[in-house]
Chain A
Amino acid sequence: MSLRIENLSVLYQDGDHAIQALEEVSLRLAGGRCLALVGESGSGKTTLGLACLGLLPRNALVRGTIRFRDRNLDFRDEASLNELRWSRLAMVFQHGSANLNPVHRIIDQVAEPLIQKKRLGRREALAKAADALAEMGLDFEHYKRYPHQLSGGQAQRALLAMGRILDPEVLILDEPTSALDAFNKGIVGDVIASAKTEKKAVLLITHDLEFAVHNSDDMAVLYLGQIMETLPSKDLLVRPLHPYTLALARSFPSMQTARDLGGIRGDAFYRTVHQHGRGDGDTYRHSHIQVPESIHANGHAPPTGCLFQNRCTQALDGCRHEPVILEKIDDHLVRCLRHGIADLAELRGVEKSYGAVVALHPTDLTLKCGEVFSLVGETGSGKTTLAMIQAGALNPDKGKRIFDGRDMEEWMRRDIRSLAGRIGVVYQNPAESVSHRFTVKEIVAEPLKIHQPSLGKEKIHERITRVLRDVHLSTDEAFLRRYAHELNMGAIQRVCMARALVLEPALLVADEPTSSLDPSVQAKVMKLLLELQIERGLTMLFVTHDIGLARKISDRIGIMLKGSLVELGPATKIISEPAHPYTRLLLDSACGIHSGSKLTKRERKESKGCPFVSRCPRVGEQCYRGTPVLKQGKDRHVACYSPLA
């Protein structure tokens, strides 16, 4: 007993325009499993739900098929659809009270399908309805009430009882948890769980990602009517492969996410499909994103391409025209020209020593497009070294560096300027990183002068003012003529950020950008960094000793100790369930818990054994014998013989 949706496309007609609500959506709902359909408003989720029940309005053009129990649903055969409705396929809508008839009592409404469809007698139907409502946790006194007398949660529960009353095989829940508190959400969760044990199929349509992650088995991400990714639900916060999925996961407040909320830049609009003539008089259909109420410009080229490209952090030129299809990557299905979130930079086996002192042991690191990666560690852990190697400011002794698919050594030899323009760097000590002879204007203009010397004065001024505005600094002449030493620390740091960003780099490397700032200024600068990262789709490599700070901003964290990475993984996991004892120590210190003896003298044999033995509470025999290697665990990399998780 499954529901198969195959290549379903739905268009809403309005005169000579049409709005594409869904495009070539294919899904499979199997009995005993719950599929979550996530997306934001305008993505077409509700349309899909309504389509399954044949409830689309008359002006909807439907293509593709929906198969239930190996038979196609015929949308024109109202009678047979009516047969199926509620008894086999039931849909529970959102906003409980609005979906209940205000003039009928709720018990009557719950009993109605029994009376009308199963031909049960009134008494029996009411008794059964009362049972169903009781199962949902509603008290007897509510049964005789009218919808306006119930709270939102109670109304939603009544709707759930009503949806299950005929024991349908497929249950579609449309935003069942919007405006509900945790307790009521739990009830919805129970309904889903019990449906699954009864081998029913559940389609959960929602934008509540946390609820979806906890209650569904699989997830499909919908954007403007197209499926962008399908993935097992548990992967959403840990391993999203599509840039939109990652951005969604970041935007949702939950106890699991570590970094602050970030939106997605740009706006999503309706997808309008126009039908009108071109110059040679024949009509043609083309589909494009149309801002509502704007004037449609005639004669433009029909685009295909990725729908998300104008908001994507890693869009290429090709993304605008080339057709994009769903392809299988691991156990996900991803619709991306770049096969999911691409790697921006990769470091393989880079190491650096200064004489006898090893600053950096051979290390591998991959930076993904659009992410914020934090390197956390104490002084001397090698984090700055690693970051500077990535930035191209330092050359490693050994190892390979790849940026945007190209080998950096070779690139730097050929054309260092173009590489330098792609990477922006913000240093730890802002005052020292700028020349005290330069005015603000000159500081910010410097990269432009170096990389594009032919740029006219006007253009330079325009670029400077734009980037200064982005970092929330004044753009009037008086300010531009100030010298660095006339500004306060926060302002200088922002000027440095402006300088790093003026060439619109793809990667921003920030080395402890706020350590020398006052806390309140620090907070402002951090907020700004985050904002910029989202607006510009930057990839950021952030170096800090403060794990609390890293938490607020990162997608992934790498913990460094004495020149090596000891733990590497998604920020949510590392913060909530650290695997390496050192990470645990860092977190505890950040919380103010200082455990263990501070000055234990445990000797560490030179260059052998784990670098953490002197302070590790879980130290064992093998820890002295050899350095643990960074190994891939369930959802992260850890270098430890007895990790915590």
Chain B
Amino acid sequence: MHISFRQNTLRDPWFIVGLGLAVIFAGITLFGPALTPFDPMDMSFAPISPPSADHMLGVNDGGQDIFSELLYAVRNTVTFGLWTALLGLVLGVVVGAIAGWSGGLVDLVLMRIADVILAVPSIMVLIFTAALFRPNPWILAVILAGLSWPTTSKAIRAQTLSLRQSLHIKAAARMGAGSTYILHRHLIPELYPLFIIGFAAKARMAMFTEASLAFLGLFDPGRKSLGMMISYALQFYYMDIWWNWLFPPILCLSLLIVSVTFLALGLEKVLDPRLRESIGGRAL
């Protein structure tokens, strides 16, 4: 199935919006430290001050500049999300491809494990672990990745099973190619569409989880996060901090997740043409 990516995707409004936002956030992530006027850890400013010339978004209750906080928070959330998604994707693809390709006992065992992991609510495991051990966020990212690969692996496995029957793979096998060669040269490139969708979905979920965990106070207070900012700001909801302290992280978080959603949507549309309008049933 050859997909004409360019034409359809680039014209899709969802995709364009998502891409635009993604670019902005990518910029913040990469150049964050350079853009912040102050060190977000610097607590020397007057607490809970309204926005001013110096402090675009004001100062929080700990005396830190909100704008700087925001940029760092975005950075943390994005990196957490991306790394988790990447790791989860790689795991999912590897497991799914092996399961689909080998079949038999290996497939059965791997899929049972996947089913078990799927049933486990990842947030609970993360909360429990975080509450007990207060680990490095990276460890949590790894755990989250380890809990989120099953969905991708199932999709990859399904696709692998059907691709296994395809002629060019059979031809390679007949020529004497080994399994690893086929997997890596023929199979995995065929699965790129699924990769992209899987990655986008995971990134979205990971960022949301990160925000929620931070919101619940499970990260080190020194680590800036959008969720954490919202949580703190909320405690002061009766004060007039609505616009400068509470709203920006909410906006950023929403836009971030929205952008990933849109990117994923745009891509999904390309790959599932049944969802587009067709000449109502060409039953001639």
A–B contact with Cβ pairs below 8 Å: the answer is yes
A positions within 8 Å CB-CB of B: 12-14, 19, 21, 41-47, 50, 57-60, 270
* Segment among B54-62, B138-146, B276-284 that sits at the interface with chain A: B276-284
Question: Across the two chains, which residue of chain B brings its CB closest to A20?
Answer: B284
Contact of A58 among B280, B282, B284 (CB under 8 A): B280
Tell me if B284 and A59 are in contact (CB < 8 A): no
Residues of A within 8 A of B282 (CB): 12, 19
Tell me if B283 and A59 are in contact (CB < 8 A): no
| Measured CA separation A270–B282 after assembly (Å) | 11
Contact of B279 among A42, A43, A46, A59 (CB under 8 A): A59
Tell me if B279 and A19 are in contact (CB < 8 A): yes
Task: Return 27 A-B CB contacts under 8 Å, by A number.
Answer: A12-B279, A12-B280, A12-B282, A13-B279, A14-B279, A19-B279, A19-B282, A19-B284, A21-B284, A41-B284, A42-B284, A43-B284, A44-B284, A45-B284, A46-B283, A46-B284, A47-B283, A47-B284, A50-B283, A57-B279, A57-B280, A57-B281, A58-B280, A59-B279, A59-B280, A60-B280, A270-B284
Q: For residues 233 through 284 of chain B, which have their beta carbon under 8 Å from a beta carbon of chain A?
A: 279-284
Question: Across the two chains, which residue of chain A brings its CB closest to B282?
Answer: A12
How many whole Å from B269's CB to the nearest CB in chain A? 18
Residues of A within 8 A of B283 (CB): 46-47, 50
| Measured CA separation A13–B282 after assembly (Å) | 11
| Measured CA separation A171–B160 after assembly (Å) | 45
Residues of A within 8 A of B279 (CB): 12-14, 19, 57, 59
Give the bracket for the number of chain B residues in contact with chain A.
under 10
| Measured CA separation A46–B284 after assembly (Å) | 5
**Most A CB atoms within 10 A — which of B281, B282, B283?**
B283
If over half of A's interface residues share one DSSP class (helix, strand or loop), that class is named, otherwise mixed; here it is mixed
Residues of A within 8 A of B284 (CB): 19, 21, 41-47, 270
How many whole Å from B177's CB to the nearest CB in chain A? 34
B positions within 8 Å CB-CB of A: 279-284
| Measured CA separation A545–B281 after assembly (Å) | 54
| Measured CA separation A44–B279 after assembly (Å) | 15
Question: Across the two chains, which residue of chain A brings its CB closest to B280?
Answer: A57
Residues of A within 8 A of B280 (CB): 12, 57-60
Question: Across the two chains, which residue of chain A brings its CB closest to B278?
Answer: A14
| Measured CA separation A46–B283 after assembly (Å) | 6
Question: Across the two chains, which residue of chain B brings its CB closest to A41?
Answer: B284
| Measured CA separation A43–B282 after assembly (Å) | 12
| Measured CA separation A45–B283 after assembly (Å) | 9
Residues of B within 8 A of A59 (CB): 279-280
| Measured CA separation A60–B284 after assembly (Å) | 12
Question: Across the two chains, which residue of chain A brings its CB closest to B281?
Answer: A57
| Measured CA separation A44–B284 after assembly (Å) | 4
| Measured CA separation A43–B284 after assembly (Å) | 6
| Measured CA separation A19–B278 after assembly (Å) | 13
Question: Across the two chains, which residue of chain A brings its CB closest to B279?
Answer: A14
| Measured CA separation A19–B282 after assembly (Å) | 9
Since A12-B282, A14-B279, A19-B279 are in contact, a sample of 8 more A-B pairs with Cβ atoms closer than 8 Å, ordered by chain A residue number, is A13-B279, A43-B284, A47-B284, A57-B279, A57-B281, A59-B279, A60-B280, A270-B284
| Measured CA separation A21–B282 after assembly (Å) | 9
How many whole Å from A50's CB to the nearest CB in chain B? 6
Question: Across the two chains, which residue of chain B brings its CB closest to A49?
Answer: B283
How many whole Å from B277's CB to the nearest CB in chain A? 9
Residues of B within 8 A of A270 (CB): 284
| Measured CA separation A58–B281 after assembly (Å) | 10
| Measured CA separation A540–B144 after assembly (Å) | 77
| Measured CA separation A170–B280 after assembly (Å) | 26
How many whole Å from B198's CB to the nearest CB in chain A? 29
Residues of B within 8 A of A57 (CB): 279-281
| Measured CA separation A46–B282 after assembly (Å) | 10
The 6 closest A-B pairs by CB, nearest first: A57-B280, A46-B283, A14-B279, A59-B280, A57-B281, A42-B284
**Most A CB atoms within 10 A — which of B280, B282, B284?**
B284
How many whole Å from A163's CB to the nearest CB in chain B? 18
| Measured CA separation A486–B281 after assembly (Å) | 60
Residues of B within 8 A of A21 (CB): 284
Residues of A within 8 A of B281 (CB): 57
Residues of B within 8 A of A41 (CB): 284
How many whole Å from B108's CB to the nearest CB in chain A? 23
How many whole Å from B95's CB to the nearest CB in chain A? 30
Residues of B within 8 A of A43 (CB): 284
| Measured CA separation A95–B61 after assembly (Å) | 71
Question: Across the two chains, which residue of chain B brings its CB closest to A44?
Answer: B284
How many whole Å from B137's CB to the nearest CB in chain A? 46
| Measured CA separation A381–B211 after assembly (Å) | 99
| Measured CA separation A47–B280 after assembly (Å) | 12
How many whole Å from A337's CB to the nearest CB in chain B? 25
Question: Across the two chains, which residue of chain B brings its CB closest to A271?
Answer: B284
| Measured CA separation A12–B279 after assembly (Å) | 7
| Measured CA separation A19–B284 after assembly (Å) | 10
How many whole Å from A90's CB to the nearest CB in chain B? 17
How many whole Å from A581's CB to the nearest CB in chain B? 50
Question: Across the two chains, which residue of chain B brings its CB closest to A93?
Answer: B283
How many whole Å from A431's CB to the nearest CB in chain B? 46
| Measured CA separation A60–B281 after assembly (Å) | 10
How many whole Å from B103's CB to the nearest CB in chain A? 23
| Measured CA separation A57–B281 after assembly (Å) | 7
Residues of B within 8 A of A46 (CB): 283-284
How many whole Å from A211's CB to the nearest CB in chain B? 20
Residues of B within 8 A of A44 (CB): 284
How many whole Å from A326's CB to the nearest CB in chain B? 21
How many whole Å from A255's CB to the nearest CB in chain B? 30
How many whole Å from A138's CB to the nearest CB in chain B? 27
| Measured CA separation A57–B280 after assembly (Å) | 6
Residues of B within 8 A of A50 (CB): 283
Question: Across the two chains, which residue of chain B brings its CB closest to A13?
Answer: B279
How many whole Å from B243's CB to the nearest CB in chain A? 47
Residues of B within 8 A of A45 (CB): 284
| Measured CA separation A59–B280 after assembly (Å) | 7
| Measured CA separation A126–B240 after assembly (Å) | 70
| Measured CA separation A14–B281 after assembly (Å) | 11
| Measured CA separation A44–B283 after assembly (Å) | 8
Residues of B within 8 A of A58 (CB): 280
Question: Across the two chains, which residue of chain B brings its CB closest to A48?
Answer: B284
| Measured CA separation A14–B278 after assembly (Å) | 8
| Measured CA separation A44–B282 after assembly (Å) | 10
Question: Across the two chains, which residue of chain B brings its CB closest to A47?
Answer: B284
